[in-house]
């Protein structure tokens, strides 16, 4: 029997509304839902091809346990959980809770996080460990830390609501669904541009989105801080800022103006390879627009200066008065979360970026962006009190995504217990003691709550009050032994004798926990976790393909007249770091490493997640080079090169990209064999993280290392494979 079922794609952050054609319990096809008002039928190749992953013979259908020789054998989920619980009990008794670390990755974030994170949190809270990691500190960690220096506003930024100017800094929403609202990003952007919105892009590559820009500053990588500072200088000098807002809510104008005297717009332009007029034009265009948003992506955040970059992005937003005011309506009010009460008022910075957790190396601390992932390998390898001996990894791929891959792989090999929750035999699964496979998204119920929640952070989530609920569309494969992520942590809580008390995801820390005496179902969790939401789940369920719930949208309330807090656009610590950054951007080139390796993403891959049928036959990640550089290197398309940094060397296959700046190599991560970095790149792809150091140049708040603009050497491959340098 054929049936058309509506669902939500959970393969990436866009969370498209999809129609799934099901025949006898099998997915026949996945297509966009043309009737959905937000997505209008949009999907990408990853989502459309997910049906084949459900029946892919490589999919894990039962838990695995590692044998002493490193191969894996099947084990029942019950036995695996018993063994894991016993090991944790022993290790915690011997070494204390800090020996247990946990990491959730990107597929947790786009997948079952809203139902599973509460159980994950409850489990590691019960153990009492703060060695809890997530990808923020190797992604755009500075976004969370910058408000410690700027302060925060009690209401969101204007964001996607009718912008007259958009500033995208090192972000390519065409492929990545960040920086433009969830939905059909191209269609949305084209509509805004047709309505007169101006798009400004700062990126060393003429990306797909840069093609549509009114102004593309094709700057050299790593110059974002000086460029933003130069733009702000122009805005201040030409008095293009929101003077009323600044007078009422802002401190530090004088010290910012003073510090910017050291900035010479022409000098910034020269170092970044730009024209000073273009920097000034970008500043004027952005500041003259009455509404707009700026979004810095992974490019600038991976320069090792993420916090400073983000501070200046937020200073720009503050100067342009982009914060919502009393009476403004939040068009993207989340539906399935309890309504928030935004107020138009500043909260002063507290400089309390550091939270309780401490790493044992390089003075690194837990910040508002989380624990520094880049130092987790060192925590595992460094003996002494507090050494990490256990790692749970859910929906992440440490062996491929963490910088300094060689050290990470060595560290993972030293763990006493490494549990990987993964539907695929990924690079990290292949190194784990236990692999616990969850069902795939179309086999479980879900809601759009994740995208709704993101919408309160400018540059992410949706532009409208869209909401959707989806039942499972197909059953799990017969004979499989799969556990949903929340179920794994539920079962471990029970086995270890801890109470099952969980706080619904997205609810404030002060909200009450829910106690479970008996094991719930996912449907029950979705219901209980949305109690008190702005729109009742029952109402959302009445529109199976998704709907805009724009009755009773949240309206920003007036600020408290007694509040005297202000945002600080001239924070002394940031001003000091700006001066250092200006000096750093003038660093001399090292002639041994004349190329700069840039981060990049591709539409048909989502980080390292198994490529299913979406790769058009291409199993690897090409190293993109400018055609002139290819001539200099004497290589053609499909030729092999070695790319090296002082840390290591990888093999890669070349592809031309005339849209790059000269002397750059642009390559996606998420590929390669961690066990054998010099394995055939045509089969395994190439891993840039082999070349990225964690302890040379890094953001001192988040520990996020320089993961783009990395100096490398490129050579045409000879007859013999290159050797990795000694360490």
Ligand X SMILES: Nc1nc2c(c(=O)[nH]1)N[C@H]1C(S)=C(S)[C@@H](COP(=O)(O)OP(=O)(O)OC[C@H]3O[C@@H](n4cnc5c(=O)[nH]c(N)nc54)[C@H](O)[C@@H]3O)O[C@H]1N2
Q: Contact positions toward ligand SF4, by CB under 6 A?
A: 9, 11-12, 14-16, 43-44, 46-47, 177
9 binds, among ligand X, Mo ion, ligand SF4, none (CB under 5 to 8 A by kind): ligand SF4
Please, which residues have CB within 8 angstroms of residue 388's CB and are 6 or more apart in sequence? Answer: 98, 99, 100, 101, 131, 376, 379, 380, 415
- Distance between CA 10 and CA 47 in Å, rounded? 8
Give whichever of 177 and 312 is closer to ligand SF4, judged by the CB atom.
Answer: 177
Judged by CB under 6 A, the residue of 123, 669, 684, 701 near ligand X is 669
Q: How many CB atoms lie within 10 A of CB 627?
A: 12
Q: Is 314 a binder of ligand X (CB under 6 A)? A: no
If one asks whether residue 422 binds ligand X (CB under 6 A), the answer comes out as yes
Q: Are 546 and 39 in contact (CB under 8 A)?
A: yes
Please select the residue that binds ligand X; options are 7, 8, 9, 13, rule is CB under 6 A.
13
Span from 17-25, 102-110, 247-255, 275-283 in contact with ligand X (CB under 6 A): 102-110
Give the residue among 347, 315, 311, 418 at the shortest CA–CA distance from 702: 311
Q: Minimum Å distance from CB 374 to Mo ion?
A: 14
CB of 36 to ligand SF4, least distance (A): 11
Q: Which residues pair with 3 in a beta bridge?
A: 22
The answer to whether residue 322 forms part of the interface with ligand X (CB under 6 A) is no
What tokens does 213 get?
Answer: 């820009």
Considering only 17, 259, 305, 426, the residue that binds ligand X (CB under 6 A) is: 426
Q: DSSP for 277-302, please give it.
A: HHHHHHHHHHHHSSSEEEEE-HHHII
Give CA separation, 487 vs 18, 118, 127, 133, 439, in Å. Answer: 26, 11, 17, 20, 11
For position 298 contacting ligand X by CB under 6 A, the verdict is yes
Among 7, 271, 468, 609, binds ligand X (CB under 6 A): 609
Question: What is the smallest separation between the CB atom of 697 and ligand X, expressed in angstroms?
Answer: 12
Which residue, 489 or 605, has its beta carbon nearer to ligand SF4? 605
Residue 231 CB: number of other CB atoms within 10 A? Answer: 29
Which of helix, strand or coil describes residue 420? strand
Kindly tell me which of 167 and 401 has the beta carbon lying closer to Mo ion.
401
Nearest-5° Cα angle at 272, 242 to 577: 60
Are 158 and 295 in contact by the 8 Å Cβ rule? The answer is no
- Using DSSP, state whether 640 is helix, strand or coil: strand
Cβ neighbour number for residue 702 with a 10 Å cutoff: 33
Residues with Cβ within 8 Å of 16's Cβ and at least 6 positions away in sequence, in order, are 8, 9, 32, 33, 39, 42, 43, 44, 47
Closest CA to 293 of 95, 461, 73, 51: 461
Count CA atoms closer than 13 A to 244's CA, side-chain side.
Answer: 3
Query: What residues numbered 142-161 form the site for ligand X, per CB under 6 A?
Result: none
Q: Segment 278-297, which members bind ligand X (CB under 6 A)?
A: 297
Minimum Å gap between C-beta 138 and Mo ion is 8
Size of the site for ligand X (CB under 6 A): 66
User: CB under 6 A: which stretch of 21-29, 276-284, 361-369, 687-695 binds ligand X?
Assistant: 687-695
Q: Is 183 in the site for ligand X (CB under 6 A)?
A: no
C-alpha distances in angstroms, 303 versus 205, 474, 515, 569, 585?
15, 43, 44, 22, 11
Q: How far is the CB of 14 from ligand X (least distance, A)?
A: 8
Q: By C-alpha distance, which of 204, 203, 185, 180 is closest to 295?
A: 180
Residues 627-666 that bind ligand X (CB under 6 A): 666
CA pair distance 581, 578, nearest whole angstrom: 5
Q: How many CB atoms lie within 10 A of CB 559?
A: 19
d(CA 77, CA 38): 39
Pick what 198 binds: ligand X, ligand SF4, Mo ion, none; C-beta below 5 to 8 Å, kind-dependent: none
> Segment 467-496, which members bind ligand X (CB under 6 A)?
485
Minimum distance from CB of 32 to ligand SF4 (Å)?
7
Which one, 182 or 364, has the nearer CB to ligand SF4? 182
* C-beta nearest to ligand X: residue: 299
**Nearer Cβ to ligand X, position 178 or 645?**
178
Rule CB under 6 A: is residue 316 a binding residue for ligand X? no
Question: Could you say which of ligand X, Mo ion, ligand SF4, none residue 16 binds, taking C-beta under 5 to 8 angstroms by partner kind?
Answer: ligand SF4
Instruction: Figure out which of the listed residues 134, 139, 161, 568 binds Mo ion, where binding follows CB under 5 A.
Output: 139
Number of residues that this document lists for the chain: 727
369 binds ligand X (CB under 6 A): no
For residue 515, give Cα distances in angstroms to 119, 486, 500, 510, 628.
Answer: 11, 14, 6, 16, 63
* Shortest spacing between CB 189 and ligand SF4, in angstroms: 15
The minimum distance between CB 47 and ligand SF4, in angstroms, equals 2
Query: Nearest-CA neighbor of 111 among 607, 495, 491?
Result: 607
- What residues from 197 to 256 belong to the interface with ligand X (CB under 6 A)? 202-205, 207, 221-222, 224
Q: Judged by CB, which is closer to Mo ion: 103, or 529?
A: 103
The DSSP bridge pattern shows strands 64-66 and 434-436 to be antiparallel
367 lines the binding site for ligand X (CB under 6 A): no
Selection from ligand SF4, Mo ion, ligand X, none that 43 binds (CB < 5 to 8 A by kind) is: ligand SF4
**Nearer CB in complex with Mo ion: 106/686:** 106
Instruction: Report the Cα 102 to chain-centroid distance in Å.
Output: 17
Q: Rule CB under 5 A: which residues touch Mo ion?
A: 139
Q: Rule CB under 6 A: which residues touch ligand X?
A: 12-13, 105-107, 111, 135, 138-139, 169-172, 175-178, 202-205, 207, 221-222, 224, 297-300, 303, 394-398, 401, 421-424, 426, 428, 438, 440-441, 485, 598-601, 603, 605-610, 666, 669-670, 688-689, 692, 707-709
């Amino acid at each position: 029997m054929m049936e058309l079922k509506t669902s939500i794609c959970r393969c990436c952050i866009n969370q498209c509304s999809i129609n799934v054609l099901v025949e006898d319990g099998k997915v026949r096809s996945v297509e966009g839902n043309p009737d959905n008002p937000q997505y209008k039928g949009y999907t990408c190749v990853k989502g459309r091809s997910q049906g084949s992953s459900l029946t892919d013979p490589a999919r894990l259908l039962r838990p695995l346990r590692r044998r002493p020789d490193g191969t894996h054998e099947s084990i029942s989920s019950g036995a695996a959980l018993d063994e894991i619980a016993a090991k944790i009990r022993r290790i915690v008794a011997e070494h204390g809770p800090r020996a247990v670390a946990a990491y959730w990755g990107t597929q947790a974030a786009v997948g079952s996080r809203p139902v599973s994170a509460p159980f994950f949190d409850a489990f590691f809270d019960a153990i009492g460990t703060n060695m809890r990691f997530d990808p923020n500190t190797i992604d755009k960690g500075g976004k969370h830390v910058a408000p410690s220096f700027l302060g925060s506003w009690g209401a969101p930024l204007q964001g996607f609501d009718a912008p007259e100017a958009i500033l995208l800094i090192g972000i390519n929403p065409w492929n990545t669904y960040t920086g433009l609202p969830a939905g059909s990003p191209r269609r949305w952007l084209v509509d805004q541009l047709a309505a007169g919105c101006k798009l400004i892009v700062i990126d060393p590559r003429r990306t797909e989105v840069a093609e549509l820009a009114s102004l593309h500053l094709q700057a050299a990588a790593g110059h974002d801080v000086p460029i933003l500072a130069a733009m702000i200088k122009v805005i201040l000098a030409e008095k293009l800022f929101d003077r009323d807002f600044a007078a009422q809510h802002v401190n530090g104008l004088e010290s910012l103006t003073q510090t910017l005297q050291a900035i010479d717009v022409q000098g910034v332009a020269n170092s970044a390879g730009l024209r000073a007029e273009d920097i000034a034009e970008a500043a004027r265009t952005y500041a003259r627009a009455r509404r707009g948003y700026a979004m810095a992506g992974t490019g600038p955040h991976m320069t090792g200066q993420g916090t400073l970059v983000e501070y200046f992005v937020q200073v720009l937003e503050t100067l342009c008065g982009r914060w919502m005011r009393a009476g403004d309506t939040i068009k993207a009010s989340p539906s399935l979360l309890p309504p928030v009460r935004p107020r138009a008022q500043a909260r002063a910075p507290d400089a309390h970026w550091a939270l309780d957790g401490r790493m044992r190396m390089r003075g690194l601390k837990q910040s508002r962006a989380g624990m520094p992932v880049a130092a987790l390998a060192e925590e595992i390898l460094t003996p002494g009190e507090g050494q990490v001996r256990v790692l749970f990894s859910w929906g992440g791929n440490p062996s491929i995504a963490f910088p300094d891959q060689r050290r990470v792989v060595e560290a993972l090999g030293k763990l006493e217990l490494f549990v990987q929750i993964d539907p695929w035999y990924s690079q990290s699964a292949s190194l784990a003691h236990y692999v616990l496979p969850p069902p795939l998204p179309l086999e479980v119920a879900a809601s759009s709550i994740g995208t709704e929640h993101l919408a309160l952070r400018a540059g992410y989530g949706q532009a409208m009050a869209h909401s959707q609920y989806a039942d499972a569309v197909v059953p799990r494969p017969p004979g499989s032994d799969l556990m949903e992520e929340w179920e794994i942590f539920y079962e471990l809580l029970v086995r270890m004798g801890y109470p099952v008390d969980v706080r619904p995801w997205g609810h404030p820390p002060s909200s009450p926990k829910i106690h479970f005496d008996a094991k719930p179902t996912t449907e029950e969790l979705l219901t209980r976790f949305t109690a008190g939401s702005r729109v009742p789940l029952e109402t959302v369920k009445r529109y199976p393909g998704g709907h805009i719930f724009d009755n009773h949208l949240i309206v920003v309330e007036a600020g408290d007249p007694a509040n005297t807090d202000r945002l600080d656009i001239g924070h002394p610590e940031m001003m000091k770091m700006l001066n250092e950054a200006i000096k750093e951007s003038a660093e001399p080139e090292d002639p041994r490493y004349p190329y700069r390796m840039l981060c990049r993403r591709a539409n048909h891959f989502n980080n390292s997640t198994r490529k299913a049928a979406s790769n058009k036959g291409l199993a690897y990640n090409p190293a993109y080079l400018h055609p002139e550089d290819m001539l200099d290197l004497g290589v053609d398309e499909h030729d092999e090169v070695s790319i090296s940094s002082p840390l290591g060397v990888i093999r890669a296959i070349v592809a031309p990209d005339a849209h790059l700046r000269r002397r750059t190599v642009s390559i996606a991560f998420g590929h390669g064999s961690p066990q054998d970095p010099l394995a055939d790149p045509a089969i395994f792809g190439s891993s840039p993280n082999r070349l990225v150091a964690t302890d040379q140049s890094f953001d001192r708040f988040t520990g996020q290392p320089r993961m783009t603009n990395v100096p490398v050497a490129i050579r045409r491959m000879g007859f013999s494979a290159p050797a990795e340098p000694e360490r």
